[in-house]
Amino acid sequence: MTTRPPVTDWATDWDHLERQWSENPYPIWDGLRKTCPVAHTERYMGAYLPTRYEDVKAVAHDTEHFSSRRVVLRETRPETILPAPPITSDPPHHKRAKQILLPRFTPDAIARLEPKTRAICDELIDGFVGKRRVDAAQAYSRHIPVRIIAFMLGVPESDSPRFIDWIHRILEVGITDQTAAMTAGREMVEYFAGHIERTAREGGDNLISDLLAVREDGQPLPPEHVNGTLRLLLIAGIDTTWSAIGSSLWHLAQHPEDRRRLVAEPRLMPLAIEEFLRAYAPVTMAREVVKETTLAGCPVKPGNMLLLSFPAANRDPAMFPNADKVIIDRKENRHAAFGLGIHRCVGSNLARMEMRIAVEAFLKRIPEFRLDPSQGVTWSEGTVRGPRRLPLLLG
């Protein structure tokens, strides 16, 4: 990556690609919340950064002033935008685009994927149980969501390495290198065009066949809608949950008291998963300001982007008592890890199930583990934050 000028002042020159942000963003947000709750930067062609829960919530609910047509903050304005409904849709088009997907993501529908998820987790653990060391991000967390979403889409699980490569180029490299993002995007369009054609010919019972079966006023969805939604599901369904599983294990590696409590009291697991989601929320979205307004009294002008940091909102002490503490049995937890308002993550039930099964399966067979002090943890940067190297000592 090219060298970036260091941040001089987080209130007026913030940069979410700065190393300090990737490695430990929480003190940055805590500082801003007290001094400048809506920060701004001239980087990224101008962008705002609210850090208080109330302000993040207000933006998420305000589709009049904040458009979703661009949901990733990039250094340049893309010449062409490949729409990926419903995440890039605004009202009134958003609702129907989302409704098409929702039936496959209800709690009951997702519960049917539990046995498969558990089998994947156990198979992965077989590969390193009994060893002294493992990189839990590379050998475990990264493989779980990608295989489940491939199954739901009806594409080969063996294509997983390609999916992970596309995501890296679109969401990480692509922030500063538009060509890399566009090339990966075009490869995905071509990939799904082939699978759409195959599914149209052979049929199926998956998300592709669901999208092909839709008729609006007698007409099928436009091909670019189907393709865009499939790209979205693939991108959104992989490194997000991979990150959330990794962060949960990263926490447990450093907190034996939490680890042992979860082993002794497995019924706490769903609450613990919610708390990991709050404290280590992986996903930061963006909005484009399309109409002048104010946010926390600050003028917000069109032409700017806005970084919608659900992770920062989740650490706001005005909303969450002891916001900087991970309390695995926190009873009241209205966290925003899956977003708020109409763009609430369509895969939230899937992500929760994958996290719960992945952490349960790991703890069941490897109840004792800690960070390997001889190697460092590395974090992804940008839109999705989670450990990409998570070296653990087992037993």
Partner 1 sequence: MVAGKSLKLRINAEKCQGHNRCKALAPELIVLDTFGNAQPAGDGIVPRELEEKARLAKANCPEFAVDISEE
299 binds partner 1 (CB under 8 A): no
Burial of 180 (0-12, 13-18, 19+ CB in 10 A): middle
Are 211 and 195 spatial neighbours (Cβ–Cβ below 8 Å)? no
Q: Which of 55, 172, 239, 274 binds partner 1 (CB under 8 A)?
A: 274
209 binds partner 1 (CB under 8 A): no
- Using CA of residue 78, residue 181, residue 187, residue 88, what is the dihedral sign? negative
Only segment of 4-12, 233-241, 333-341, 368-376 that touches partner 1 (CB under 8 A): 333-341
According to DSSP, the residues that pair with 300 across neighbouring strands are: 293
115 binds partner 1 (CB under 8 A): no
333 binds partner 1 (CB under 8 A): yes
Q: Which of 6, 203, 266, 270 binds partner 1 (CB under 8 A)?
A: 270
54 binds partner 1 (CB under 8 A): no
Is the CB of 20 or the CB of 99 nearer to partner 1? Answer: 99
CB of 63 to partner 1, least distance (A): 13
Are 220 and 214 spatial neighbours (Cβ–Cβ below 8 Å)? yes
Q: Which of 326, 336, 355, 390 binds partner 1 (CB under 8 A)?
A: 336
Lookup result for tokens 């082939």: 194
Only segment of 139-147, 198-206, 296-304, 331-339 that touches partner 1 (CB under 8 A): 331-339
Quote the CA–CA distance of 247 and 242 in Å, as a whole number.
9
According to DSSP, the residues that pair with 293 across neighbouring strands are: 300
334 binds partner 1 (CB under 8 A): yes
Task: Please give the C-alpha separations between residue 175 and each of 17, 72, 125, in angstroms, as whole numbers.
Answer: 9, 8, 34
338 binds partner 1 (CB under 8 A): yes
Backbone angles phi, psi at 125, to 5 degrees: -65, -35
348 binds partner 1 (CB under 8 A): yes
* Interacting residues with partner 1 (CB under 8 A): 99, 102-103, 105-108, 270, 274, 331-336, 338, 340-342, 344, 348-349
